[in-house]
Amino acid sequence: MTQNPAQKPDSIDQDQFLTILSREEALARFEAALFPRDVPSEQRKLADALGCALGEDVVAPIDVPPFDRSNVDGFAVRSSDLASASEAAPVRLMLNDEVIACGVAPARPVLSGTATSIATGGPLPRGADAIVMVEYSQPAGLRAVEIRRAASPGQFVAYAGSDIARGEALLRTGTIIGSREIGMLAACGIAEVRVARKPRVAVISTGDELVQPGEALRSAAIYDTNGAIVTAAINENGGEARFVGAIPDDEAALEAAMRQALAESDMLVLSGGTSKGAGDVSHRIIARLGKPGIVAHGVALKPGKPLCLTVCDGKPVIILPGFPTSAMFTFHDMIVPVLRRMAGLPPRSDAKVLAKVPVRIASELGRTEFVMVSLVEGADGLIAYPTGKGSGAITSFAQADGFLKIDALAEQMPAGAESEITLFTPHVRVPDLVIVGSHCTGLDLVTSPLARAGLTVRSIAVGSLGGLAAAKRGECDLAPIHLFDDKTETYNTPFLADGLELVPGWRRMQGIVFRNGDARFEGRSAQEAVRSALADPACIMVNRNQGAGTRILIDRLLGEARPDGYWNQPRSHNAVAAAVAQHRADWGMTIAPVAHASGLGFIPLAEEHYDFALVKARKQRSAVQAFLDALASEEARNALTKAGFRPA
């Protein structure tokens, strides 16, 4: 986003900065440039039509069933013959000389005083108007049968056209063809249907940094997430996606790829390169691809501001923001409606629920903001936790149950507000066990047997203090915490409030992490290692965030010293190990399992207690009991030990 002042500002970029549109305005302009338009259709064999939208009304060409038929095994009779039949006074009927099985056309009429043996599905013979079940009959010699019940006219007869009547509108245009629709069509003998042709959508990821999943990750590269996720979301919403690949930020190469993709498709979706960065070129290419070109570039959405909506000679070309979460939100909010319309599908109907938001959410004035949430069952209704890790995080999307919307004119959503949640699934799936607090990889080892037993576990990482607050409000079952109290020099217990009890978890060895072979650290104690690091001005450390238990240990070791790297304060154990492994720092403090998993050297310093604040009021819930059992089990203790933890 930085503009080099020496450079003449790009005039297109300038325009776009001046015209940020509201979400509604941008969508309205985009739709006005694309619709009305015909939905092209194609013939498809029934077996290939699953999931397609019907392209025309289907009128039933025949009656189903095509003839009056028996619904049971029994005898075709004239009901008037049986008016006096009863258990005490059975009526004797002469058997006609045929048996009507399925697929057998009857040859003889049922005259008064006679009956014809008939199977379920057999066509009703001439003269008969009812069926008597075989259970209410008994043979009377070889040629006759006795009936012990009266029969009303039409009894057990399915009349021609009673299921589907010839000429009846069977299915309407736009109906999604599922197995039931296929069944109706097959029953009418229809082998092919006209369906809306799925729009062919080409997908291109842009960026020098992108590597396809399955390939090795080179340094400073990331895996292409948008390519896979956009392709899947297009297919989920009635399109036929074709993933072209990730194209580097090279104007000529990208233009060639875009032109070819557009020529072969009805729609083109790119991601990345839509900010105003130096390498961001796709929006400039679009201006050359066709008329009218850019319809909106810059939408007052969060996440998703750099969304670029364009139409090139009648075909939509969209540039989604690069960050996967931004890309997905804008795709679902702004592109799905257009894609479904082009695919002849009805608008998607999303399920919504009301939930209380326990924490305040700050919001930028002037932008419609979407916040992803995880739902848990509170004491009186649903609670929606924001799961946001920033628009660069993919898990905030995958782990959320849905999202809430903060109006463009609101500066915040206050704690305790009731909000409408749009669900990602058709129904709320409230988890059986809710764990809110500090995350640890050891947790997954304890909860995996619960998952195997069919219990759903939701763990929401908000840090120890956030977890304690949630536990005090009764919004979770357990809050994992690792809080060191300076005064008492103990872990966790001093932080418990009324209504909470401590369940011991496990110990995590904290220590200094360094690259193997580094003589400044190898073979030394933690104190010596830090002294030798401080003695070398070229040595760079990586710190931890304020409030982390680990930070307290680091500050104790450093005393007054503030070496290079002190202000680099990532929020997780893994980030510390990554910084050291990738040579951005030479040492830091992390937990032993993380250091070992990264193949780094480790000097143990102190054990940290990772325990659980249990909400007493929820202790008797079966999922909580299952968790406590799992925690105490041999299986979990062995797994924890193997991973480098020490069960308490």
Applying CB under 6 A, does 464 fall inside the site for ligand AMP? no
Of 170-178, 319-327, 406-414, 536-544, the window that binds ligand AMP (rule: CB under 6 A) is 319-327
Q: How many Å apart are CA 228 and CA 205, to the nearest integer? A: 9
Q: Which string of DSSP letters, residue by residue, matches 565-606?
A: TTT---SSHHHHHHHHHTTS-SEEEEEHHHHHHTT-EEEEEE
Applying CB under 6 A, does 590 fall inside the site for ligand AMP? no
Q: How many Å apart are CA 38 and CA 27, to the nearest integer? A: 19
Q: How many residues bind ligand AMP (CB under 6 A)?
A: 20
Of 41-49, 74-82, 315-323, 595-603, the window that binds ligand AMP (rule: CB under 6 A) is 315-323
> What's the min distance (Å) between Cβ of 208 and Mg ion?
7
Of 204-212, 324-332, 499-507, 542-550, the window that binds Mg ion (rule: CB under 5 A) is 204-212
117 binds, among Mg ion, ligand AMP, none (CB under 5 to 8 A by kind): none
Choice between 250 and 607, CB closer to Mg ion: 250
Choice between 123 and 272, CB closer to Mg ion: 272
> What's the min distance (Å) between Cβ of 221 and Mg ion?
12
209 binds, among ligand AMP, Mg ion, none (CB under 5 to 8 A by kind): ligand AMP
Applying CB under 6 A, does 117 fall inside the site for ligand AMP? no
Choice between 227 and 442, CB closer to ligand AMP: 227
Q: How many Å apart are CA 545 and CA 525, to the nearest integer? A: 24
Choice between 12 and 134, CB closer to ligand AMP: 12
Q: How many Å apart are CA 349 and CA 295, to the nearest integer? A: 26
Q: How many Å apart are CA 276 and CA 286, to the nearest integer? A: 15
Find out whether 393 and 328 touch, Cβ atoms under 8 Å: no
Choice between 324 and 431, CB closer to Mg ion: 324
Choice between 224 and 477, CB closer to ligand AMP: 224
β-bridge mates for residue 361, sequence order: 413
Q: Which of 272, 344, 402, 570: binder of Mg ion (CB under 5 A)?
A: 272
226 binds, among ligand AMP, Mg ion, none (CB under 5 to 8 A by kind): ligand AMP
Of 22-30, 265-273, 525-533, 638-646, the window that binds Mg ion (rule: CB under 5 A) is 265-273
Binding flags for Mg ion, 358-397, as an x/- string (CB under 5 A): ----------------------------------------
Applying CB under 6 A, does 318 fall inside the site for ligand AMP? no
Q: How many Å apart are CA 267 and CA 204, to the nearest integer? A: 11
Stretch (H or E) spanning 26: helix 23-34
Find out whether 118 and 74 touch, Cβ atoms under 8 Å: yes
484 binds, among ligand AMP, Mg ion, none (CB under 5 to 8 A by kind): none
Answer whether the bond into residue 65 is a cis peptide, omega within 30°. Answer: yes
DSSP-assigned letter for residue 113: T
DSSP-assigned letter for residue 20: P
Question: With the C-alpha atoms ordered 43, 45, 48, 52, is the resulting torsion angle positive or negative?
Answer: positive
Find out whether 263 and 244 touch, Cβ atoms under 8 Å: no
Beta strands at 114-118 and 74-77: parallel, antiparallel or unpaired:
antiparallel
Nearest to 189 by CA among 77, 322, 65: 65
Applying CB under 6 A, does 570 fall inside the site for ligand AMP? no
Find out whether 484 and 551 touch, Cβ atoms under 8 Å: no
Find out whether 272 and 297 touch, Cβ atoms under 8 Å: no
Stretch (H or E) spanning 639: helix 634-642
Choice between 76 and 299, CB closer to ligand AMP: 299
Q: How many residues bind Mg ion (CB under 5 A)?
A: 3
Helices within 198-323 (DSSP H only): 226-236, 251-263, 282-286
Find out whether 152 and 85 touch, Cβ atoms under 8 Å: no
Give, as ranges, the residues between 175 and 234 that touch ligand AMP (CB under 6 A). Answer: 205, 207, 209-210, 222, 224-227
Angle (CA) 324-325-327 rounded to 5° is 60
Choice between 205 and 396, CB closer to ligand AMP: 205
Nearest to 30 by CA among 319, 262, 326: 319
* All residues at 6 or more sequence positions from 435 whose CB lies less than 8 Å from its CB, including other chains: 443, 447, 457, 458, 459, 460, 476, 477, 478, 479, 480
Choice between 274 and 330, CB closer to ligand AMP: 274
Choice between 272 and 378, CB closer to Mg ion: 272
Q: How many Å apart are CA 139 and CA 134, to the nearest integer? A: 10
β-bridge mates for residue 374, sequence order: 385
Q: Which of 274, 310, 368, 459: binder of ligand AMP (CB under 6 A)?
A: 274
> What's the min distance (Å) between Cβ of 210 and ligand AMP?
5
Of 6-14, 52-60, 264-272, 323-331, the window that binds Mg ion (rule: CB under 5 A) is 264-272
Find out whether 283 and 273 touch, Cβ atoms under 8 Å: yes
Q: Which of 125, 239, 273, 549: binder of ligand AMP (CB under 6 A)?
A: 273
Applying CB under 6 A, does 16 fall inside the site for ligand AMP? no
β-bridge mates for residue 270, sequence order: 204, 319
Applying CB under 5 A, does 273 fall inside the site for Mg ion? yes
Choice between 161 and 207, CB closer to ligand AMP: 207
> What's the min distance (Å) between Cβ of 399 and ligand AMP?
17
Beta strands at 601-615 and 541-542: parallel, antiparallel or unpaired:
unpaired
324 binds, among Mg ion, ligand AMP, none (CB under 5 to 8 A by kind): ligand AMP
Q: 442 φ, ψ to 5°?
A: -65, -30
Give, as ranges, the residues between 490 and 549 that touch ligand AMP (CB under 6 A). Answer: none
Question: 3-state secondary structure string, 357-390?
Answer: ECCCEECCCCCEEEEEEEEEEECCEEEEEECCCC
Applying CB under 5 A, does 304 fall inside the site for Mg ion? no
Q: Which of 173, 275, 412, 422: binder of ligand AMP (CB under 6 A)?
A: 275
Give, as ranges, the residues between 320 and 359 that touch ligand AMP (CB under 6 A). Answer: 321-324
> What's the min distance (Å) between Cβ of 19 and Mg ion?
22
Residue nearest to Mg ion (CB): 207
Of 71-79, 135-143, 266-274, 519-527, the window that binds ligand AMP (rule: CB under 6 A) is 266-274
Of 205-213, 413-421, 422-430, 498-506, the window that binds Mg ion (rule: CB under 5 A) is 205-213
Which SS3 state, helix, strand or coil, does residue 482 take? coil
Applying CB under 6 A, does 237 fall inside the site for ligand AMP? no
Applying CB under 6 A, does 304 fall inside the site for ligand AMP? no
Q: Which residues are near Mg ion by CB under 5 A?
A: 207, 272-273
Binding residues for ligand AMP (CB under 6 A): 205, 207, 209-210, 222, 224-227, 271-275, 277, 280, 321-324
